[in-house]
């Protein structure tokens, strides 16, 4: 038996017309046993049909389209977004191939400490870009 929370996505896919036969069968099985979900699907279908009837032929005005296209053209695009990744990879490779073997050749604790430090220094920019990427895009620029 499928839980109600699990079929919410299936209901949306059915309304949008993107549900496959297996998804429809799973949804139908749940709806046969759950009156609440059947009522919810009927209500959402009615709302979707009413909106489609009201806004079915709606298109944005040419002025809106022109303003939107102008704003998109004016947005700054990242140039060479791959360059920091290549530089980070080169730095890590340089540390792994050069510094770590030399430091490990010193033997003992000193070699291990130097190797670990070199590796941390080589990975630091990579960590920073990863953390910055996780932070999200930030606030959008204010409208001119």
pLDDT at 57: 77
Q: What is the pLDDT of residues 87-135, one digit of tens each?
A: 777 777 777 777 767 766 777 777 777 777 877 777 777 777 666 665 5
* Cβ atoms within 10 Å of 108's Cβ, excluding its own: 8
Structure tokens given for 43: 């209500």
Question: Is the predicted pLDDT of residue 42 greater than 80, yes or no?
Answer: yes
pLDDT at 93: 79
Distance of CA 129 to the CA centre of its chain: 16
Report field, pTM of the whole predicted structure over 0.95: no
Structure tokens given for 98: 């050069």
Q: What are the Cα distances from residue 131, in Å, to 46, 95, 101, 136?
A: 45, 21, 28, 9
Confidence band of 36 (pLDDT split at 50, 70, 90)? very high
Residues 6+ apart with CB under 8 A from 119: 95, 96, 99, 100
pLDDT at 26: 92
Contact 114, 106 (CB under 8 A): yes
Q: What is the pLDDT of residues 59-99, one digit of tens each?
A: 888 898 888 888 888 776 665 666 777 777 777 777 777 77
Contact 36, 63 (CB under 8 A): no
């Amino acid at each position: 038996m499928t839980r109600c929370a699990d079929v919410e996505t299936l209901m949306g896919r059915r309304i949008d017309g993107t549900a496959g036969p297996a998804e429809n069968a799973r949804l139908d099985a749940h709806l046969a046993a759950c009156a609440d979900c059947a009522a919810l699907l009927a209500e959402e279908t009615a709302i979707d049909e009413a909106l489609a009837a009201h806004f079915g032929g709606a298109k944005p005005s040419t002025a809106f389209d022109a303003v939107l296209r102008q704003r998109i053209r004016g947005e700054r695009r990242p140039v060479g977004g791959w360059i920091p990744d290549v530089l980070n990879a080169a730095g890590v490779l340089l540390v792994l191939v050069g510094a770590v073997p030399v430091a490990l050749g010193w033997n003992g604790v000193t070699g291990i400490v130097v190797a670990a430090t070199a590796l941390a220094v080589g990975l630091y920019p990579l960590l920073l870009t990863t953390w910055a990427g996780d932070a999200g895009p930030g606030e959008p620029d204010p409208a001119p």
